[in-house]
Amino acid sequence: MATASAAQANMPSVGVDAPSRREFLYYIWGASIALLLGEAAAGLVWFALPRFKEGEFGGVFNIAGDTVPAPNKIPMSVPAGRFWLSNVEDRGLYVLYGVCTHLGCLPKWVETNNRFECPCHGSKFERTGKYIEGPAPRSMDKFEATVTFDDGTVATTGVEGIPDGGPIPLEGRTIASVAINTGSRYKSADRLDE
């Protein structure tokens, strides 16, 4: 122990000077810029990430099975979600985006003609959303949908052999609920004259 204290006594003392005014300001400015950049990045991420609630456009809509229209009856409009539910006998359930593919007008169901018609420029679409005539460049777009049946089975568009956007084959099963994701739209590529 004596040798250690003697060695310490022979060592020169090391002093640490306080930072100069210039160094102090350099550190303060650096910390301020880092804090500002961190706040800006957090605000940008918070603003840019979508936060859609259930039941509003861009989110998921849950529809009870007893409200789904019967086959070949008047399609059901859900204005808050901007979509139509159309049940076509022998084909299945379609979830159609309720905006015309021409210039974004809102096609209406015309019961006397048994089709969707755009009031702005006259585009016409079948019950399935397929293009009939008019200036629209393609058929109506469709939303992703998941149908839960009473027997517990589930069918989702885009998977399990169901083409993008449907139809979802019902095959005599009773619908318990339908979940429509209005944040996932399938753009139609078909047209009658193509």
Give the residue with greater pLDDT, 7 vs 151.
151
pLDDT at 192: 47
Q: Which two tokens stand for residue 32?
A: 């301020």
> CA dihedral defined by 84, 88, 92, 98, rounded to 10 degrees?
-20
Q: What CA–CA distance (Å, rounded) separates 38 from 55? A: 33
Three-state DSSP class for residue 29: helix
Judged against a pLDDT cut of 70, whether residue 98 lies above it is answered with yes
Mean pLDDT of 132-149: 86
The yes-or-no verdict on residue 165 having pLDDT over 80 is no
Please state, in angstroms and rounded to a whole number, the distance separating the CA atoms of residues 68 and 184: 20
> What is the average pLDDT across 94-105?
86
Q: Which two tokens stand for residue 157?
A: 């568009």
- Does 138 have pLDDT greater than 60? yes
The pLDDT value recorded for residue 194 is: 45
pLDDT value at residue 193: 46
CA angle 128, 75, 125 (to 5 degrees): 35
Q: What percentage of the chain carries pLDDT values higher than 90?
A: 9
pLDDT one-digit tens code per residue, 59-76: 788 888 888 888 888 888
Q: Is the pTM of this model over 0.85?
A: no
Interval 7-57: pLDDT, tens:
666 777 777 788 888 989 999 999 999 999 999 999 988 888 777 777 677
User: Which of these, 112, 86, 87, 81, lies nearest to 99 by C-alpha position?
Assistant: 81
Domains of the chain are 60-186 (2.102.10.10)
Task: Identify the band that residue 164 occupies on the pLDDT scale cut at 50, 70 and 90.
Answer: low
What are the strands, taking DSSP E only, across 16-110? 60-64, 76-78, 83-88, 92-97, 108-110
